[in-house]
């Protein structure tokens, strides 16, 4: 009875109905590699944790960051603990208008963002804020990219339907 | 602390894709080369190597965890000690220094460092996504995570601060591709001109395809020993005299992962610089790599280098981007901050003996990337820093002609070389100094 048992065959996954094979096993060293497609997909349960107020702020049309109550260091991108004195920082609202510190126009990108190319990335600076903020700059012609964009006054705008990503805020020339 | 020497190394030919070998077998190609170069057998390797250090960056490319152990056992090293080093683009440089540490401490007399990356396992744009995951996934990656974009932002600021030009960046590409023309290990061996760089496809303004290194499959290994290990090897090889390089300096540094967090403060000075050189400079901002400066400073101090331009014979520099090579000249004190563009234009980092189709007033003062660097050799991340070490070792041995089958890239009477390894926007940098040790 045992030799009659067969695992049921399925038609999912990789199927190659005929795999060429030599009679002489010595020939196997001349074999070309078998290359197959292996899909891999994951849904993470990602917590924004102590950064969450930033995303709640974006959903409410506010660009938030943090400031150290001990040493006064003011961050353009929030971090709950000051990198200079280790104290817990307080939240504050950044001004909606800032300036382009540097920029690029991406004509290629990571797979996730390829459909959005060309897109413009900027680091935003504000007077009296010690660090910068990474964002997209829109409503500007990517073909016009030039160094005079540095120093340009830009204004924060917010997506109405928040996606809970840092791109819920974006900048336009002010 | 014990003196540490490099006695041998090997590199697999870097290629866009190596579907014909698994990563283990690819590393073995480089290892076999290193063994045969000093007349050692595989069995002698098994007997004499005390432990290994594995260098590879991303688990995503292989979707295989513990890959380092798999190479270690493929090379016959089980059940000896092995550990894995990971630090983005600087993985290879960090591995070099981890191997140095294991030998300098006396824990091992003979240590094998091996590294590789198999980046062809996904398409280029998925690969860029994996690499961009080495940026803050709350604040940076989702905005348009793309390392070429990050470096492009850094260089637009460098251009604005100092007047650095795209043609100066293109010269780095001209130099490195033309050098690689004489290096059979390189992936891209091309004689190109400035206009070829500028006319190639724009990737992230102002960086074009030819301003940026490519993804590769490749492996490299290096064999490190102390005096005792050297004696053991020479005895096992029937009294042969090896031609080692001595590691005389190591330095490392890092900077905040988010570029936005980089401060605007003061320059950590090298011994030949003065505070007055940088009166109005806000440092590092996003235009310079503070980690590169810290790594250089520590390595120079250890090796007693006070005048890098005149005390170093060549540098293998992590040129993932033409722009970052220019920024790194400054970090390493080859010129002052702000003078990197002029430095390449002067011809100083070009090979003295090659014709690049341009006239330079100071050609060959201190060759940078004689091998062709990452831009032309390729950048299989975990292998890259060790590849630099192997090429530097061959330069100091004077054996480039033997290994490359072409003497063009041999630096005459090279006594001291530097290798520089760099991770994402300068989040890790290592600088290691090798000197002729025989």
Question: Which pLDDT score is estimated for A1?
Answer: 57
C-beta of residue B385 within 8 angstroms of C-beta of residue B55: yes
C-beta of residue B114 within 8 angstroms of C-beta of residue B89: no
Rounded CA gap, B367 and B385, in Å?
A: 18
Q: Which residues of B touch A116 (CB under 8 A)?
A: 144
Q: Do A123 and B152 touch (CB under 8 A)?
A: no
In a domain, B244, yes or no: no
Locate B350 and state its tokens: 């070009």
Residue range B75-83: mean pLDDT, rounded: 98
Residue range B335-351: mean pLDDT, rounded: 98
Locate A125 and state its tokens: 């600076």
- 3-class DSSP string for chain A: CHHHCCCCCCCCCCCCCCCCCCCCHHHHHHCCCCCCCCCCCCCCCCCCHHHHHHHHHHHCCCCEEEECCCCCCECCCCCCECCCCCCECEEEECCCEEEEEEEEEECCCCHHHHHHCCEEEEEEECCCCCCCEEEEECCCCHHHCCHHHCCCEEEEEECCCCCCCHHHEEEEEC
Q: What fold characterizes domain A49-173?
A: OB fold (Dihydrolipoamide Acetyltransferase, E2P) (2.40.50)
Q: Which residue of B152, B202, B260, B327 to mutate against A (max A Cβ within 10 Å)?
A: B260
Q: Which residue do the tokens 């979707």 mark? A: B63
Rounded CA gap, B364 and A153, in Å?
A: 44
Half-sphere exposure of A20 (CA within 13 A, CB side): 7
- Shortest Cα distance from A116 to chain B (angstroms)? 9
E runs forming strands in B56-101: 81-85
pLDDT tens readout for residues B34-58: 999 999 999 999 999 999 999 999 9
In a domain, B177, yes or no: no
Q: Do A76 and B260 touch (CB under 8 A)?
A: yes
CA nearest to A170 within chain B: B143
CA distances from B217 to A45, A54, A95, B62, B72 (A): 32, 40, 47, 11, 18
- Shortest Cα distance from B276 to chain A (angstroms)? 24
In a domain, B33, yes or no: yes
Rounded CA gap, B226 and B232, in Å?
A: 10
Question: Which pLDDT score is estimated for A2?
Answer: 62
Q: Do B259 and A123 touch (CB under 8 A)?
A: yes
Q: Among A77, A101, A110, whose Cβ lies nearest the Cβ of B145?
A: A110
Q: Which residue(s) pair with A105 in the sheet?
A: A120
Q: Which residues of B touch A89 (CB under 8 A)?
A: none
Q: What's B92's domain CATH number?
A: 3.40.47.10
Locate B369 and state its tokens: 């990337």
E runs forming strands in B255-327: 264-265, 283-284, 314-317
In a domain, B303, yes or no: no
C-beta of residue B31 within 8 angstroms of C-beta of residue B114: yes
C-beta of residue B145 within 8 angstroms of C-beta of residue B151: no
3-state secondary structure of B208: strand
What are the pLDDT tens digits along chain A (174 aa)? 567 899 998 988 888 889 999 999 999 999 999 999 999 999 999 999 999 999 999 999 999 999 999 999 999 999 999 999 999 999 999 999 999 999 999 999 999 999 999 999 999 999 999 999 999 999 999 999 999 999 999 999 999 999 999 999 999 999
Q: Which residues of A touch B156 (CB under 8 A)?
A: 102-104, 147, 150
Rounded CA gap, B426 and B286, in Å?
A: 10
In a domain, B86, yes or no: yes
In a domain, B30, yes or no: yes
Q: Name which of B248, B258, B346, B337 is nearest B292 in CA terms.
A: B337
Q: Do A132 and B264 touch (CB under 8 A)?
A: no
Question: Which pLDDT score is estimated for A16?
Answer: 87
3-state secondary structure of B11: strand
C-beta of residue A94 within 8 angstroms of C-beta of residue A63: yes
C-beta of residue B151 within 8 angstroms of C-beta of residue B206: no
In a domain, B280, yes or no: no
Question: Which pLDDT score is estimated for A15?
Answer: 86
Q: Do B154 and A40 touch (CB under 8 A)?
A: no
Task: Please classify residue B74 by burial: count the beta carbons closer than 10 Å to its beta carbon, then call 0-12 exposed, 13-18 middle and 19+ buried.
Answer: middle
CA distances from B166 to B112, B152, B211 (A): 41, 11, 9
In chain A, where are the structural domains located?
Answer: 49-173
C-beta of residue A125 within 8 angstroms of C-beta of residue A154: no
pLDDT tens readout for residues B230-253: 999 999 999 999 999 999 999 999
Q: What angle do CA B201, B202, B205 make, to 5 degrees?
A: 165
> What are the two backbone dihedrals, phi and then psi, of residue B251, each rounded to the nearest 5 degrees?
-150, 150
Number of domains chain B is built from: 1
pLDDT tens readout for residues B129-154: 999 999 999 999 999 999 999 999 99
Q: Do B156 and A121 touch (CB under 8 A)?
A: no
Q: Given phi > 0 = left and psi -120 to 50 = alpha, else beta, which region is B282?
A: beta
State chain B's mean pLDDT as an integer.
Answer: 97
pLDDT tens readout for residues B149-177: 999 999 999 999 999 999 999 999 999 99
Provide the residue range defining the domain that includes B91: 4-122+217-236
Residue range B66-80: mean pLDDT, rounded: 98
Locate B212 and state its tokens: 């940026």
In a domain, B374, yes or no: no
Q: Which residues of A touch B140 (CB under 8 A)?
A: 134, 166
pLDDT tens readout for residues A139-148: 999 999 999 9
Q: Which residues of A touch B128 (CB under 8 A)?
A: 108-111
Which stretch of DSSP H or E encloses residue B7?
strand B4-11
CA dihedral for B397, B317, B176, B342, sign (positive or negative):
negative
Residue B321 has pLDDT above 70, yes or no: yes
C-beta of residue A170 within 8 angstroms of C-beta of residue A121: no
């Amino acid at each position: 009875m045992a030799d009659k048992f067969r695992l049921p065959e399925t038609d999912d996954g990789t199927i190659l109905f005929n795999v060429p094979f030599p009679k002489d096993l010595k020939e196997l060293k001349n074999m070309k590699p078998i290359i197959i497609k292996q899909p891999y997909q994951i849904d993470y349960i990602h917590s924004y944790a102590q950064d969450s107020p930033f995303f709640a702020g974006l959903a409410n049309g506010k660009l938030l960051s943090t400031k150290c109550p001990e040493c006064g260091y003011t961050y353009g991108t929030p971090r709950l603990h000051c990198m200079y004195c280790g104290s817990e920082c307080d939240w504050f609202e950044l001004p909606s208008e800032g300036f382009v510190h540097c920029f690029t126009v991406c004509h290629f990108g990571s797979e996730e963002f390829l459909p959005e190319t060309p897109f413009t990335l900027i680091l935003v600076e504000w007077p009296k804020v010690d660090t910068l903020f990474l964002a997209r700059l829109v409503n500007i012609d990517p073909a016009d990219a030039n160094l005079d964009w540095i120093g340009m006054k830009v204004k924060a705008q917010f997506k109405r339907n928040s996606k809970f990503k840092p791109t819920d805020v974006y900048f336009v020339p002010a | 602390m014990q003196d540490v020497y490099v006695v041998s190394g090997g590199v697999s030919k870097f290629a866009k894709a190596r579907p014909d070998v698994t990563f283990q077998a690819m590393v073995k190609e480089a290892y076999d080369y290193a063994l045969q170069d000093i007349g050692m057998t595989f069995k002698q390797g098994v007997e004499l190597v005390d432990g290994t250090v594995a260098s590879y960056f991303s688990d995503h490319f292989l979707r295989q965890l513990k890959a380092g152990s798999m190479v270690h056992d493929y090379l016959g090293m089980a059940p000896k000690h092995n550990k894995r080093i990971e630090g983005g683009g600087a993985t290879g440089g960090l591995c070099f220094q981890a191997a140095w540490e294991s030998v300098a401490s006396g824990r091992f007399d003979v240590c094998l460092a091996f590294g590789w990356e198999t980046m062809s396992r996904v398409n280029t744009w998925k690969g860029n996504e994996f690499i961009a995951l080495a940026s803050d996934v709350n604040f940076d990656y989702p905005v348009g995570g793309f390392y070429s974009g990050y470096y492009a932002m850094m260089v637009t600021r460098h251009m604005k601060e100092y007047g650095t030009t795209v043609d100066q960046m293109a010269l780095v590409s001209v130099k490195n591709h033309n050098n690689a023309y004489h290096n059979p290990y390189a992936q891209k061996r091309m004689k190109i001109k400035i206009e070829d760089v500028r006319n190639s496809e724009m990737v992230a303004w102002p960086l074009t395809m030819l301003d940026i290194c490519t993804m590769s499959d490749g492996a490299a290994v290096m064999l490190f020993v102390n005096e005792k290990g050297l004696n053991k090897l020479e005895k096992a090889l029937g009294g042969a005299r090896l031609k080692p390089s001595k590691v005389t300096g190591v330095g490392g540094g890092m900077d905040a992962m988010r570029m936005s967090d980089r401060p605007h403060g003061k320059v950590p000075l090298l011994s030949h610089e003065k505070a007055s050189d940088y009166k109005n400079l806000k440092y590092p901002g996003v235009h310079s790599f503070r980690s590169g400066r810290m790594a250089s400073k520590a390595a120079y101090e250890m090796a007693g280098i006070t005048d890098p331009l005149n005390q170093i014979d060549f540098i293998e520099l992590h040129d993932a981007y033409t722009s970052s090579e220019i920024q790194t000249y400054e970090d390493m004190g080859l010129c002052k901050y702000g003078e990197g563009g002029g430095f390449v234009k002067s011809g100083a980092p070009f090979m003295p003996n090659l014709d690049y189709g341009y006239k330079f007033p100071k050609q060959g003062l201190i060759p940078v990337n004689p091998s062709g660097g990452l831009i032309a050799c390729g950048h299989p991340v975990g292998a890259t820093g060790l590849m630099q070490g192997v090429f530097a070792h061959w330069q100091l041995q004077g054996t480039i002609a033997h290994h490359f089958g072409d003497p063009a890239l041999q630096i005459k009477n090279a006594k001291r070389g530097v290798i520089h390894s760099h991770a994402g926007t300068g989040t890790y940098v290592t600088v290691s100094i090798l000197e002729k040790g025989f």
